[in-house]
Chain A
Amino acid sequence: MKQYYYLEGNQQLGPFTLEELRSKPLKPDTKVWTQGLPDWVAAQTVPEINEWLSRPQAPPVYPVQPPTPNPPTYQPFQESYTPNQPLSAGLGNRPKTWLVESILVTLFCCLPFGIAGIVNASNVETRYSNGDFAGAQRASDEAAKWTKVSFFVSIGFWVLYLAAIFIGILSGVSNSFF
């Protein structure tokens, strides 16, 4: 008899026989595993489970959620999931938005790069609240990148400027001496 396991959140449940599994609240995208599978897969991709998953259940064991009208809200999370990392890996705190740092470089570094930081700061929350944790992290990294680019470019500009003045002074001095 084949033994089946499934994931609820990041908790592994099982083993169950195929018959026992029928009474469990499985959805087509619930991750399941059984002997012979290399990794956790969506329930609908296992033929013997999908067979009764796709059939409407007479009295539903639990209220089946109506299909969400806006699937992209949870799709990105599915994309970012890889079986080797715990399911809750992306569920941490919202990544840093770098908003204040972006404002500071906008005001002090005299370079419009800070604007890019602010735009990315707003993307962090947009993506985070859509469940796109990987995307939120990317936006956070972008924001961090732009604040740093702005910061170091202006430091570089400062150094160049001082160097130019220094050379100017030197040549001025040498001109007056020779």
Chain B
Amino acid sequence: MAGLYFWFDPARVSFFPPCPFRFLTGLDCPGCGSQRCLHKLMHGNLRQAYHHNPLLVASLPYVLTGLVLEYTPLRKSQAGFHQRFYGKTASLIVLGIVLIYWIGRNLV
């Protein structure tokens, strides 16, 4: 799977599926551009990755930290931080960012 995204550029090859939401509505969703973005990321091309889906690139540090917190012993030793990292405030901030991004990218 990862190999597919590494070897083929979704911007040029047609066997990567389009976004169902975009397919149905013609609008961008928060995940549109993620496949192209991933391809660029795997080639270390941050700038072009950012161009395809800024939110994906911006959320990488958060997501990686979150995965480490959840699936390593840090979960126990940093329980308080884990609690806040996955807490209500964090969720609402994420929700806000995603919604604003979703609306914003369709306006720009």
Chain A interfacial positions (CB closer than 8 Å to B) = 94, 96-97, 99-100, 103-104, 106-112, 114-115, 118-119, 121-122, 124-126, 129, 153-154, 157-158, 161-162, 165
Cβ contacts B65-82/A at 8 Å (1 or 0 each): 011001000000000000
- The answer to the question of B26 belonging to the interface, with a C-beta cut-off of 8 Å to chain A, is no
Residue of B70, B86, B92 with highest tally of chain A CB at under 10 A: B86
Candidate in A100, A115, A162 with the most chain B CB atoms within 10 angstroms = A100
Beyond A99-B94, A111-B20, A121-B91: 10 further Cβ-contacts under 8 Å?
Answer: A97-B87, A99-B66, A100-B67, A110-B31, A118-B91, A122-B88, A122-B95, A125-B91, A157-B20, A162-B15
Report the minimal beta-carbon distance from A127 to chain B, rounded to whole angstroms: 10
A128 to B95, CA, bound (A): 19
Contacts known (A110-B29, A126-B88); A157 close to B98, Cβ less than 8 A: no
Q: In the complex, are the beta carbons of B86 and A121 less than 8 A apart?
A: yes
A71 to B67, CA, bound (A): 37
Number of interface residues of B (CB under 8 A): 34
A165: chain B residues at CB < 8 Å are 14-15
Residues of B contacting A: mostly = helix
* Residues A106 and B15 in contact in the complex (CB < 8 Å), given A99-B94, A122-B91: no
Which of B's residues lie within 8 Å of A, judged by CB? 14-15, 17-22, 29-32, 34, 38, 53, 55-56, 59, 62-63, 66-67, 70, 83, 86-88, 90-92, 94-95, 98-99
Q: What chain B residues lie within 8 Å of A161 (beta carbons)?
A: 15, 17-18
Q: How far is A121 from B86 in the complex, measured between Cα atoms in Å?
A: 8
Q: Using CB atoms, name the residue of chain A closest to B37.
A: A107
Bound Cα distance from A119 to B56, whole angstroms: 19
A154 touches B86 (CB 8 A): no
| Chain A neighbourhood of B94, CB < 8 A | 99, 103, 118, 121
Query: What 9 pairs between A and B have smallest CB-CB spacing?
Result: A122-B91, A100-B66, A110-B19, A125-B88, A161-B17, A110-B31, A121-B91, A97-B86, A107-B31
- Choose one: A96, A108, A109, A110; the contact of B22 (CB below 8 Å): A110
A99's contact among B34, B56, B90, by CB below 8 Å, is which?
B90
Q: Is the CB of A125 within 8 A of B87?
A: yes
A171 CB → nearest B CB, Å = 16
A125 to B59, CA, bound (A): 22
Q: Is B59 a contact of A107 with CB atoms below 8 Å? A: yes
Establish whether residues B92 and A122, one from each chain, have CB atoms under 8 Å apart when the complex forms: yes
A-B CB contact pairs (8 Å), 28 listed: A97-B91, A99-B86, A99-B90, A99-B91, A100-B62, A100-B66, A100-B67, A100-B70, A100-B86, A103-B62, A103-B66, A110-B19, A110-B32, A112-B21, A114-B98, A118-B98, A119-B95, A122-B91, A125-B91, A129-B88, A154-B20, A157-B20, A158-B17, A161-B15, A161-B17, A161-B18, A162-B17, A165-B15
